[in-house]
Structure 1
Amino acid sequence: MSKKATPTSTKTATSYAPLSIAPARVLRGEHCLRDSGKEIAKLGVRPLVVGGDRTLAAISSNLEPIFTQEQLVAEFASYSPDCAESSLSRLKEMVQQHQADLIIGVGGGKALDTAKLLAYQCNLPIVTLPTSGATCAAWTALSNIYSEAGVFQYDVSLSCCPDLLILDYGLVRTAPQRTLVAGIGDAIAKWYEASVSSGESTATLLISAVQQARILRDILFQKSAIALKHPQSNEWSEVVDATVLLAGVIGGVGGADCRTVAAHAVHNGLTHLLEAHDVFHGEKVAYGILVQLRLEEMIQGNKLAASSRKQLLKFYTEIGLPKTLEDLGLADVSLARLRHAAAIATQPKSDLHRLPFAVSAEQLMAAMVSTTVDTTTVKANNLN
């Protein structure tokens, strides 16, 4: 019997951007940090530990026995005042002074972003040690850069995810509950943004990432309230896995085409308001999801978006996420300054324009002040 000819595709090969999907190694568990010494020592013997002032003071007693046991010569360095270019310049000098061969990032999103970018710029391995469930920064190959005043500037794609991620549930459990609530807000945004930016894609990995985002949303809907009431429960650790790990997986598999849309664009605009600087990243993003859905209602007349927004409002009330500008502590901010934030969020290169329709700053303003309304008739000219 003769062989059948193999069909030859008439399509030309497509060039894809490289994907950085996951850390090389992940350790997770209750008090797993104390057993991580050998894994850390495989990466370097002169670590520079980067974090915020309070975090470094709190974590030193956990890290120093590990360094002593593995004969590591460590130095601690604050990233303050923010994940800013000036902070990175100062930290690069400390890398040289200490002759560091490894960076260990400890803390929340900005500390980890700083440590990851520092390691990337110095061509050193990086260990991430999140101290809360507030973001997926411990996982991703991405760093956000802010000004010294905390204003979002730009983001940087890194060549790879961290070499080692240590998710110690015992350590994360010591963080204020508000940080995990914020992490839930940041993570659940994956579905609402990825389904818009990549929901119509026929590419295999993008389809996979969008569906994982849907699963992540459902996990958080089902388990968040229980987790927050019972921090010793399995649901709690599963929600932490969702906010720190699974959210990172989605960004890694989906790549740049499956990340941020209007929710994060609203966050970026709000960073230009001094009054919002004490509001957590995930809290601003969670509010941004409601704004994005409100835009879909107002501009497209999207009834599904209206239903999704009502579902989220109920969920936010249950777990304590902000639903309005007032909830964010921005009730007294003038309309002029809010318009400035909206203008930032709608500038030409903003991720907000991944929405399948055009949005003006005035339309965004109308959505921002009407996230809890029951109608879809608010018009931007009512704000003039």
Structure 2
Amino acid sequence: MSPELTNSYNSISPNKVFRGDEAWKDGMNYIPLICKSPLLLGKSNSTYKIRQTIYNDLKGIGINPINSELEYGCCEEDLQRISNIILEKNCDSVIAAGGGKVLDSGKLLADRLSLPCITIPLSAATCAGWTSLSNIYTKFGAFINDKSLKSCPNALIFDHGFVKSAPKRLLASGIADGLAKWYEASLTSSRSNDGFVQQALQMARVLRDQLFIDGLEAYRNAESDSWVRVAEACALTAGLIGGIGGARCRTAAAHPIHNGLTQLESPKMGLHGEVVGFGIIIQLHLEERYSKNKLATQAKGQLIKFLKEINLPTTGKELGIENISSEDLQKVSNFSCNQNSEIHLLPFKINKDVIKQAIMDNISEKTFGKLSDIKIQ
């Protein structure tokens, strides 16, 4: 038996998933079965009104929520502070309502304190509401590592009304993050003998097609059927793919490049999915050069055209890093290619010099011709 098929554990999905226009109403009535005094976690001022609605509705059914907000994100400073609040107030669960860092923080807090967790995504920007994984950052926004959790959330409530209130830029960002499932998994998992991984890979391909077909209409019209399919694809299906396929269906080069770019700790840095989308473009070029895959050239052109249609950055200049110093670019490359990076799951050798040159050429909008001259040891 193949080593990858032995001793496998998959945390595939939340125990309950409520989705649709009435998701909050239905999910709210399930919450008393889980808890009586939850911590209600949020962050952004833009989501305050929705979180206040959630708070008031919970009070109305006899639940006693304790409000708390992140100051920075999913970082130890916030995690420690809020963990103390949970213990002091004797909270019996965590309800995380917000974007990716709020959802990741809520899951991680609940995991550390062995409490139930309920996630309420307030955008379709990531699949963080679904997964048994949290990304940990510094308080300045630099990626540190990801943490596998014991389980997915006890419940996920994906209310269309809540999510539609988010700026459409967040949906576009989620589309790029969802597309990465295929572009990364197709490189790292195509030769897997694990049936779950093979099936997750095919789901990622269908997800990609769905996003290409419906993405532009969803971006333009939040009242369309396309919006429903795309928003749920980004926030729910993408998480399911990671649950079924595991780590090998999550990352290759796009996410490590994102993680490297966060080391700049720049206030101009784009949203998670925007940076991941840029990472996909760099990954496709590396695939084109070093695996001699001519289809990568076509795929890169198709992707760039689509990302532009939904107003996502496709160059370093558009991402806001056109003035990056050589020293900072080296920092990005070093982190992207550190010894623990999943970029080494690529089916061809890679090094930090190649990553550095690829980003440099993208920023200057060159044709990446110099890459072929870099030797891979």
TM-score (structure 1 length as normaliser): 0.93
Of 132, 142, 146, the match for 2:123: 132
Question: 1:19 — aligned with what?
Answer: 10
Deviation at 1:294, TM superposition (A): 0.8
Aligned to 1:256: 247
The amino acid across from 1:269 in the alignment is G
Aligned to 1:369, the other structure's residue is in SS state helix
In structure 1, the residue matched to 2:292 is 301
Q: 1:109 — aligned with what?
A: 100
Instruction: Identify if the C-alpha distance between structure 1 residues 17 and 341 changes in structure 2 by more than 3 Å, giving closer, same or farther.
Output: same
TM, length-normalised to structure 2: 0.94
Distance, in Å, in 2 between the alignment partners of 1:48 and 1:172 is 21
Within 2, Cα distance between the matches of 1:119 and 1:135? 19
Q: Secondary structure at the residue paired with 2:144?
A: strand
Mapped contact 1:366–1:379 kept (Cα < 8 A)? no
Partner in structure 2 of residue 6 of structure 1:
none
The amino acid of 2:120's aligned partner reads L
The equivalent of 1:28 in structure 2 is 19
Structure 1 residues 134-149: aligned runs within 5 Å: 134-149=125-140
What is the distance in 1 between the residues matched to 2:282 and 2:152?
A: 31
CA distance in 2, matches of 1:171, 1:179: 13
Q: Secondary structure at the match of 1:36?
A: helix
- Displacement of 1:56 after TM fit? 5.7
Partner amino acid for 1:353? H
Please identify, of 317-326 and 214-223, the stretch whose mean Cα deviation from structure 2 is larger: 317-326
Q: Deviations over 1:43-99 (max 9, x none)?
A: 100010111041562223311332122211111111221211121111111111111
Name the structure 1 match of 2:78: 87
Quote the offset at 1:16 in angstroms: 2.5
Query: What runs of 5+ residues in structure 1 fail to find an aligned partner?
Result: 1-9
The aligned counterpart of 1:38 is: 29
Q: Which stretch shows the higher mean deviation, 47-56 or 176-185?
A: 47-56
Aligned to 1:94, the other structure's residue is in SS state helix
Aligned position for 1:327: 318
2:141 aligns with 150
- Contact 1:270/1:276 (<8 A) preserved: no
Which of the numbers 348, 356, 359 marks the counterpart of 1:357?
348
Provide structure 2 residue ranges, at least 5 long, that are not aligned to the other structure. Answer: none
CA distance in 1: counterparts of 2:110 and 2:213, whole angstroms: 37
Give the 3 Å change call, closer, same or farther, for CA 63–259 of structure 1 in structure 2.
same
Shift in Å, 1:175: 0.5
Question: 156, 170, 186: which one pairs with 2:161?
Answer: 170
RMSD: 2.0
Alpha carbons of structure 1 residues 149 and 178: separation in structure 2 relative to 1, 3 Å: same
Q: Which moved more, 1:208-217 or 1:268-277?
A: 268-277
Return the alpha-carbon distance in structure 2 between the equivalents of residues 186 and 271 of structure 1.
16
One of 54, 66, 91 as aligned partner of 1:63: 54
- 2:199 equivalent among 182, 204, 208: 208
Aligned residue type for 1:327: E
Contact 1:55–1:107 (CA<8 Å) still a contact in 2?
A: no
Q: In the alignment, what sits opposite 1:226? A: 217
Corresponding residue SS for 1:195: helix
Q: Is the CA contact 1:55–1:106 (under 8 Å) kept in the aligned structure 2?
A: no
Letter in 2 for 1:312: L
- Counterpart check, 1:340 vs 2:304: no
8 Å CA contact 1:34–1:66 kept in 2: the answer is no
The sequence identity of aligned pairs, in percent, is 38
Q: 1:107 to 1:213 in 2, by over 3 A?
A: same
Say whether 1:284 aligns with 2:275: yes
CA deviation after TM superposition for structure 1 residue 15, in Å: 2.4
Q: Using the alignment, how far apart are the partners of 2:233 and 2:199 within structure 1? A: 16
Go from structure 1 to structure 2 and tell me whether the alpha carbon gap of 1:238 and 1:81 turns closer, same or farther (over 3 Å shift).
same
Q: Which has more radius of gyration? A: 1
Q: Judge conservation of contact 1:103–1:124 (CA < 8 Å) in 2.
A: yes
Q: 2: distance between equivalents of 1:292 and 1:141?
A: 26
In structure 1, what is the Cα distance between the partners aligned to 2:44 and 2:316? 30
1:293-333 Cα shifts (integer Å, max 9, x gaps): 11112223321111111111111111112111001011111
Query: Match for residue 358 of structure 2?
Result: 367
Match in the other structure for 1:3: none
1:188, distance to aligned residue in structure 2 (A): 0.3
Shift of 1:257: 2.1
CA–CA separation in structure 2 for the residues paired with 1:42 and 1:317: 45
Distance 2:201 2:345 in 1: 15
2:187 counterpart residue number: 196
After TM superposition, which residue ranges in structure 1, 4 or more long, deviate above 4 angstroms?
10-14, 371-377
CA distance in 2, matches of 1:23, 1:277: 34
Q: Say if 2:2 and 2:193, in contact at 8 Å, map to a contact too.
A: no
Native 8 Å contact 1:21 1:252 kept in 2? yes
Query: Residue in 2 aligned with 1:244?
Result: 235
Which string of whole-angstrom CA distances, capped at 9 and with x for unpartnered residues, describes residues 178-226 of structure 1?
0000000000000011111111112110100000000000000000001
- Give, in whole Å, the separation in 1 of the partners of 2:59 and 2:352: 55
The aligned amino acid for 2:119 is T
Whole-angstrom distance in 2 between the partners of 1:364 and 1:13: 29
Specify the alignment match of 1:97 in structure 2.
Answer: 88
